[in-house]
Chain A
């Protein structure tokens, strides 16, 4: 008797668990689709306040391109600015610091306004590292990216490869889905990419994580119709 009584209850309970699991999954999926739909669409409210900006510097030529973009960006709109570079990259943050110092020098009275911060991030994979150990290092890089994103909580992310930006963009996208923070991600593909997107560019494009993806050659734009070509940075 007990057994027979217990069975329907258990079935009911497991049914409820099953249904609520489906409900939660559906909710997440709907939210995911909504976020993908909204990403890539211009923000509807007209901005007037400055927006906190995360700038990811990719080393070498990538950093040079990013600094060219920053040179023409209105600094009073994009602030405070946080710069992130790979832990193994010794040059990029120095260059960004030089740029920020020159801004303070230009505009001495507002020095206190100029709240730029500089941070380093662990890379998920160094050149030549084995794929087995890179599983572990990727997890560490993701955790570090999560920590940095919680600290910075940017509304705008500017990045241009290589892979340093991927964990940060993934966390930013997760924040969007979870409703923690809405950030607009702008990715500029390297000028060195003429025929094909880089792996980072391809990921952000295919997974629709970048709101706007710029390429620097018209040829490349023809292959990726959602990409934008409005000229070169270099």
Chain B
């Protein structure tokens, strides 16, 4: 139980995309060292459609434990049990992480053309709900980040939209 308590997992997710440069980046020595220095003990990577395979590592010899899988239907569970999430810029992963209040670094895939998802990550980073990095700058972001400065995201509310639709159609207000 003692060991379980000290487990601090970094969960990396690319969703259904192919994002090898992110997986390579988190698997690099420099990023692993920064994470270890910040007190994280394990790295769990969801690879998606990528082809780059990181090297697995138990992590009981004073280094970061590394494990990976390709797809899973229980990503939500992985996010909940993580201490830090590093994600691609998909809105699904972003809001799933913010909803459960986990610290998040969004890494943008610069290989995608016309990647409008950068807009969302930048906006949320401006509002200090998450950190925003590229595969090349990820190690710097990890070393500079101060999780206590992040502002918790308050989930949106669909009620005003529903109210508007009801009024438009002539339904009485409740």
Partner among B90, B155, B166 whose Cβ is within 8 Å of the Cβ of A234: B155
Interface centre among B117, B122, B170 (most CB of A within 10 A): B170
**Is the C-beta of B110 less than 8 angstroms from some C-beta in chain A?**
no
Stretch at the interface among A8-16, A37-45, A103-111, A130-138: A37-45
Alpha-carbon separation in the docked complex, A74 to B166 (Å): 9
Q: Check A61–B158 contact: CB distance below 8 A.
A: no
Contacts of B100 in A (CB 8 A): none
State in angstroms the CA–CA spacing of A201 and B11 once bound together: 34
- Is the C-beta of B120 less than 8 angstroms from some C-beta in chain A? yes
Partner of A230, one of B16, B164, B166, B174: B164
Given A61-B92, A216-B156, A231-B156, decide whether A194 and B123 contact each other with a Cβ distance below 8 A: yes
A51 to B117, CA, bound (A): 35
In the complex, whether B160 has a CB less than 8 A from a CB of chain A is yes
- Distance in angstroms from A2 CB to nearest chain B CB is 65
- Decide if A190 is an interface residue (CB 8 Å cutoff): yes
Most chain A CB within 10 A, of B91, B156, B161, B174, is at: B161
**A192, B162: Cα distance in complex, Å:** 20
Number of residues in B with C-beta < 8 Å to the partner? 30
Q: How many residues of A contact B (CB 8 A)?
A: 42
A184 touches B168 (CB 8 A): yes
Known: A194-B120, A196-B116. A234 touches B169 (CB 8 A): no
Q: Is the interface of B mostly helix, strand, loop or mixed?
A: helix
Given contacts A47-B170, A184-B168, A192-B117, contact A72 B159 (CB under 8 A): yes
Asked whether any CB of chain A lies closer than 8 Å to the CB of B38, the reply is no
Known contacts A192-B117, A231-B156; decide if A214 and B161 are in contact (CB<8 Å).
yes
Say yes or no: A193 contacts B168, CB within 8 Å. Answer: no
Per CB-CB distance, the 7 closest pairs between chain A and chain B, nearest first, are A232-B156, A230-B160, A61-B91, A194-B119, A46-B170, A47-B170, A192-B120
Given A64-B95, A193-B119, 10 more contacts at CB 8 Å? A42-B169, A46-B170, A48-B171, A60-B91, A156-B169, A192-B91, A192-B117, A194-B120, A231-B157, A234-B155
